[in-house]
Amino acid sequence: MAQIAASDRLATTELPREVPARRGFRQWLDRKAWRDTIIAIPFFWLLLFFLLPFLIIFVISLGEATIAQPPVQFAAQWPYVSFDNYRLLASDSIYVSGYLNSLVYATISTFICCDRLSDGARDREGPRTEPQPPAPTRHPALLDLVPAQGLCLDGTSSNNSWFNRASPGLQSHLNFGRRSMPFR
């Protein structure tokens, strides 16, 4: 008798009843924790490495140059900051022409990049006279060279990447005798 009652009790306790409703932190942990974490990581990355440096630069831009370390000073009285630097930007032609040069060169380069690729897209469409089985996918061979181009750019200095260290023979081949470049 006692045995039966014990097994009965066991069976009823093993049956899943209603899942207890979770509130607050446990609910968040069950439902949204991963999604929120995945969004939060790049958010904090941007906060730390984009917004914070931007704010530092912005504050520096409101100061005044001086001979000190760091070479910035702020006015001693309220409002401590000035927008004179921004007025200078609008008034001096070297800055205006610099902005214009940058915008024009970047625009032209962007258009050339687009144009060369749209030529490639046009090549894919030959006139077809009758329904044909799908052609085997052609993988543009130049695409394979895209990463290599980045590696070549990197390869202009001697020993600064895993690729260059791993491939001294290929590197000297790619470099065409250039041993060093400025700005690297």
Q: Which stretches of the chain bind another protein, using CB under 8 A? A: 54, 57-58, 60-65, 70-72, 85-86, 88-89, 94-95, 97-99, 101-103, 105-110, 112-114, 116-118, 121-122, 124-128, 131, 134, 140, 142-143, 146-147, 149-150, 153, 181-183
Distance in Å, CB of 170 to another protein, minimum:
19
Beta 72-73 vs 64-65: how paired, if at all? antiparallel
Distance in Å, CB of 21 to another protein, minimum:
34
Tell me if 158 sits within 8 A of 181, measured CB to CB: no
Pick the closer one to another protein by CB: 28 or 86.
Answer: 86
Pick the closer one to another protein by CB: 38 or 114.
Answer: 114
Pick the closer one to another protein by CB: 79 or 134.
Answer: 134
Tell me if 81 sits within 8 A of 63, measured CB to CB: yes
Pick the closer one to another protein by CB: 11 or 67.
Answer: 67
Q: What angle do CA 102, 108, 112 make, to 5 degrees?
A: 140
Pick the closer one to another protein by CB: 12 or 93.
Answer: 93
Distance in Å, CB of 48 to another protein, minimum:
17
Tell me if 177 sits within 8 A of 153, measured CB to CB: no
- State how far the alpha carbon of 84 is from the alpha carbons of 69, 80, 160, 181, in Å: 21, 12, 41, 38
Q: At what angle do helices 84-91 and 93-123 cross, to 10 degrees?
A: 70
Distance in Å, CB of 77 to another protein, minimum:
18
Q: Cβ neighbours of residue 64 under 8 Å, at least 6 residues apart? A: 72, 73, 74, 75, 82, 84
Distance in Å, CB of 165 to another protein, minimum:
22
